[in-house]
């Protein structure tokens, strides 16, 4: 087993950056956020791409940029409109963070993203990865970025045989990434590293025979490529029971808006109550539903929660006591649903309830 390099060790890989950038210039995918690059466009694309596939993001990105062509347009928009455009993309906190961040930039930086890593990090919703992406890709600043793809590529290049979920190892990987970023075209290098992870240095079956870095890769040389990075298993999702009321009348559907600080904050859904068991959920539903009739079950897995939701059709009770997670409950025209932020889970609930 090779010893992992120390965090501050110089990266002994001469020519790596030039080789990787040359490969990127030859084979980069044609993606909408790679043209007309600005800090704002990089920001939107990088937030959308977190935890989400490129093919899923493309139509969302294009709709979002059409609705909010500039950072000032986004800052001036209502959060309802932002969430409506984000509907189905998941991880809605990202949309709220982006919106708050845009308002922060207007308030403190006259609507222009600063070309400075420390100042970028001071903006609401911008963490080290996003700051590195905006600074290097949009402004050509020599600074690293580390995401899941970069972790995988660097853990393999340097055959790091420790749990890559550990903060100490991630710090080591950030330091390695920092030591590799060239002065010339730092953004292209960072993007190439992510592209290599997305297209070639794949999680299960790395395509080492096609990889421009194979001659410099320790994991490839040691036959460890497919077994790295080492990752401790993630926490198993918690099972959550819930019951949901899909109430309809004259082409309208009853929806509740979740409080801003709740999971799915600001999104609309059929009124739903969570409980520790299916029976308890059904009992709690009776506080706001009149003569509920079972319509089936919806299962939905989020990163830390596995939801099992019993769906009921029926009417709201005469004096409904909705769960406190909603700050508003109203009848919505079914033709207006596209104007509302609605999660994939809520769409499944409505479908199961016949809406
Ligand atoms: S040689 Fe294989 S393991 Fe190493 S960086 Fe390339 S694809 Fe990844």
Residue nearest to atom 4 of ligand 1 (CA): 217
- How confident is the model at residue 1, as a pLDDT? 37
- How confident is the model at residue 302, as a pLDDT? 86
Residues 163, 71: Cα–Cα separation, whole Å:
38
Whole-number Å distance, alpha carbon 214 to ligand 1 midpoint, is 6
Listed in order, the ranges of the chain carrying CATH 3.90.79.10 are: 238-352
Q: Which residues have a catalytic role annotated?
A: 46
* Residue 77 phi, psi (nearest 5): -75, 160
- How confident is the model at residue 9, as a pLDDT? 52
Residue nearest to atom 3 of ligand 1 (CA): 225
Whole-number Å distance, alpha carbon 205 to ligand 1 midpoint, is 10
List pLDDT tens digits, range 227-286.
999 998 888 889 999 999 999 999 999 999 999 989 899 999 999 999 999 999 999 999
Listed in order, the ranges of the chain carrying CATH 1.10.340.30 are: 16-227
CA-nearest of 95, 87, 56, 132 to 336 is 87
pTM, to two decimals: 0.85
CATH of segment(s) 238-352: 3.90.79.10
- How confident is the model at residue 7, as a pLDDT? 44
The rounded percent of the chain whose pLDDT value lies above 70 is 97
Residue 2, pLDDT > 50, answer no
Using the atom order of ligand 1, give the atom closest to the CA of residue 212: 6
Average the pLDDT over 69-84 and give the result.
97
- How confident is the model at residue 11, as a pLDDT? 53
Average pLDDT value over all residues in the chain: 93
Average the pLDDT over 205-228 and give the result.
96
Most informative mutation of 20, 212, 214 for ligand 1 (most atoms within 8 A of CB): 214
List pLDDT tens digits, range 7-43.
445 456 789 999 999 999 999 999 999 998 999 999 9
- How confident is the model at residue 303, as a pLDDT? 79
Residue nearest to atom 8 of ligand 1 (CA): 201
Average the pLDDT over 314-324 and give the result.
95
Residue nearest to atom 2 of ligand 1 (CA): 208
Q: Write down the CATH superfamily of domain 16-227.
A: Hypothetical protein; domain 2 (1.10.340.30)
List pLDDT tens digits, range 96-137.
999 999 999 999 999 999 999 999 999 999 999 999 999 999
Residues 96, 255: Cα–Cα separation, whole Å:
20
Ligand 1 neighbours, Cβ below 6 Å, are 153, 156-157, 200-201, 206-208, 211, 213-214, 217, 219-220, 225
List pLDDT tens digits, range 291-315.
999 999 999 998 789 999 999 999 9
């Amino acid at each position: 087993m090779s010893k992992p390099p120390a965090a501050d060790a110089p990266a002994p890989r001469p020519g790596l950056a030039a080789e990787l950038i040359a490969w990127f210039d030859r084979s980069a995918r044609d993606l909408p956020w790679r043209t007309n690059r600005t800090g704002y466009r990089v920001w939107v694309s990088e937030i959308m791409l977190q935890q989400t596939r490129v093919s899923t993001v493309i139509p969302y990105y294009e709709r979002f940029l059409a609705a909010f062509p500039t950072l000032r347009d986004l800052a001036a928009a209502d959060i309802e409109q932002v969430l409506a455009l984000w509907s189905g993309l998941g991880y809605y906190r990202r949309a709220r963070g982006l919106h708050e961040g845009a308002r922060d930039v207007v308030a403190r930086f006259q609507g222009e993203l600063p070309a400075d890593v420390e100042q970028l990090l001071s903006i609401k919703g911008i963490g080290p990865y996003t700051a590195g992406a905006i600074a290097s890709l949009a402004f050509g600043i020599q600074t690293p970025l580390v995401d899941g793809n970069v972790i995988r590529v660097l853990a393999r290049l340097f055959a790091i045989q420790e749990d890559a979920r550990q903060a100490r190892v991630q710090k080591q990987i950030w330091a390695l990434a920092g030591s590799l970023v060239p002065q010339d075209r730092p953004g292209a290098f960072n993007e190439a590293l992510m592209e290599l992870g997305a297209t070639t240095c794949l999680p299960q079956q790395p395509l080492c025979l096609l990889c421009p870095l194979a001659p410099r890769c320790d994991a490839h040389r040691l036959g460890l490529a497919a077994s790295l990075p080492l990752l401790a298993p993630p926490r198993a999702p918690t099972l959550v029971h819930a019951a949901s009321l899909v109430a309809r009348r004259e082409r309208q559907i009853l929806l509740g808006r979740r409080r801003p600080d709740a999971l799915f904050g600001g999104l609309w859904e059929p009124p739903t109550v969570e409980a520790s068991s299916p029976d308890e959920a059904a009992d709690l539903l009776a506080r706001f539903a009149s003569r509920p009739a079972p319509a089936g079950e919806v299962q939905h897995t989020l990163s830390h929660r596995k939801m099992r939701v019993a769906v009921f059709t029926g009417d709201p009770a005469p004096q409904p006591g909705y769960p406190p997670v909603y700050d508003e409950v109203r009848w919505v025209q079914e033709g207006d649903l596209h104007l509302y932020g609605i999660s994939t889970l809520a769409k499944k609930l409505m479908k199961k309830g016949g809406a």
